[in-house]
A and B are shown apart, each in its own frame.
Chain A
């Protein structure tokens, strides 16, 4: 199942399929196509999300997270 990164639930994980915005910046922080990531937290009232990629944590705004498409892992 594919989801936007912004819709990933807490502790859900998945593999990045596509990135539609800020691709270069996200790539530089380790969020790249085919990377596996895990949702750490989503801040309330449209706040940023924090994800773990490899062994690193990255925080990004919600709009940016909407532009990242993730294939969700089956539990």
Chain B
């Protein structure tokens, strides 16, 4: 389905359970179901946002870890992305687990749709003292990155505004920028973050 005049189609894509549906509800005032387990949204939900005489059709795509679909819900995600070559993609990352979401983000970026990033759950990240350098992330990716909290309603206006600044990403340039300044010798660095997930002291 092609975007009409004065009308943007926005695909919300990201890992399962990063708060896509909560953001979707905030943006559209819709009633998508929001829960705390991966795979709450298995079907496509559409909603509309009208602002300053512009109409945005927002599509809440089921969560996926990668575009190599593993289950039927992920297949839906791949199909939707393939079926909307003109849509703007909003990649939703969980600020507390950015690394996990980046793989899908890069895969989606390779599709070439204009794109921007919502760095969601920023409140939870602050609470857990995880800090994300938004400026550097934005610089490396070359697309707008907007910190948001769907639960608290933070960053919603910035998000709508970012639609207009969305850029088709350039993977070669991202690689150059990412590897360029700092050498990343594979194999030497400890990748782990201290402590266990539950935070129980060892």
What residues of chain A have their CB less than 8 Å away from a CB belonging to chain B? 11, 13, 15, 24-25, 27-30, 32, 34-38, 40, 52-57
Contacts and interface: CB of A to CB of B under 8 A. Distances in A.
Nearest to B194: A36
B99 A38 contact: no
In this complex, the member of B96, B187, B192 whose beta carbon has the largest number of chain A beta carbons within 10 angstroms is B192
B41 interface: no
A40 B65 contact: no
Contact of A52 (B96, B103, B196): B196
Given A28-B66, A29-B100, A34-B187, A11 B202 contact: yes
Contact of B97 (A25, A34, A40, A56): A56
Contact of B197 (A27, A32, A54): A54
Contact of A54 (B70, B104, B192, B202): B192
- Dominant SS among interface residues on chain A: mixed
B197 A56 contact: yes
B70 A25 contact: yes
A53 B65 contact: no
Contacts of B66: 24, 28
B184 to A, nearest CB: 12
A36 B100 CA distance: 15
A30 B193 CA distance: 12
B198 A52 contact: yes
B68 interface: yes
